[in-house]
Amino acid sequence: MKLTKQSIITLLKDRILPIGFLVFLILTICVSWINYRMDRSTNEYMLSFEEVAGSFDAVIVLGAKVYANGALGGIVRDRADMAIRLYKTGKVKKILVSADNGTANYNETKAIYQYLIDNQIPKIDIFLDFAGFDTYDSMYRAKNNFQVETLLIPNHLNYCARSVYISRSLGIDAYCVTMAKLTSLRTISGLDREKLATIKARLNIKFSSKAYFATDDLYPISGPGNAGDFY
């Protein structure tokens, strides 16, 4: 059969596009179901600020966008502000900053650290992790390098389930201190990036992945902060 422009168009319309749509639909349903199950399994570990009680080893500030001038983007500033509030009200005694310093010209960890210092957090109570390239790496290193056993995670509701799922799967007794849900997250083909990140998190846990930058260095959260080693 000789392929013509019209026959190719007909093939696309009648065969390939319907199959592609079906595959996309199945993947969307699977991703949504996995996210639904994760949300259900972590609901009991969501707390408002007022509900936080007891003693926790630390609060973790996970990285997100910072600007070239060192200013924090909205997401990470919200996380840092909640961490400061938890610290200043005595709900935690240590703050662990785990963020991305993947290049010499981009350092989320330093920017968050400076924000904490500007808000009168003592250096001795600040721990810095420069290899928190994603939430899994941050929680893996919190457990293995900083020896965190109990943890508060200030986060927007969009991210709470995944961060709690990862940390508890790694053996950390973690709770998310919830903040308002974000409504303007980027999407890929209509799928929330967070839903896709959830799939990655489940694969990391299933295959017991190591952090991208896994080391044997220890900075026990029970001791003095390591910020003074760097700044």
Yes or no: say if 137 and 125 are a contact pair by the CB < 8 Å rule. no
- 6 phi/psi in degrees, rounded to 5: -70, -40
pTM: 0.85
Checking if the pLDDT of 123 tops 50, the result is yes
Q: What percent of the chain shows pLDDT beyond 70? A: 86
Quote the pLDDT of residue 6. 62
Amino acid found at 79: R
Assign 3-class secondary structure to 147-196: CCCEEEEEEEHHHHHHHHHHHHHCCCEEEEEEECCCCCCCEECCEEHHHH
Per-residue burial over 78-110, b if 16 or more Cβ lie within 10 Å, else e, is bbbbbbbebbeeebbebbbbbbbbeeeeebbbb
Quote the pLDDT of residue 11. 53
Question: Which of helix, strand or coil describes residue 132?
Answer: coil
Q: What is the CB neighbour count within 10 angstroms for residue 158? A: 18
Quickly state the pLDDT bin for 14 (edges 50, 70, 90).
low
Yes or no: say if 212 and 137 are a contact pair by the CB < 8 Å rule. yes
Domain ranges of the chain: 45-229
In this structure, whether the domain defined by 45-229 belongs to CATH 3.20.20.450 is answered with no
Quote the pLDDT of residue 24. 73
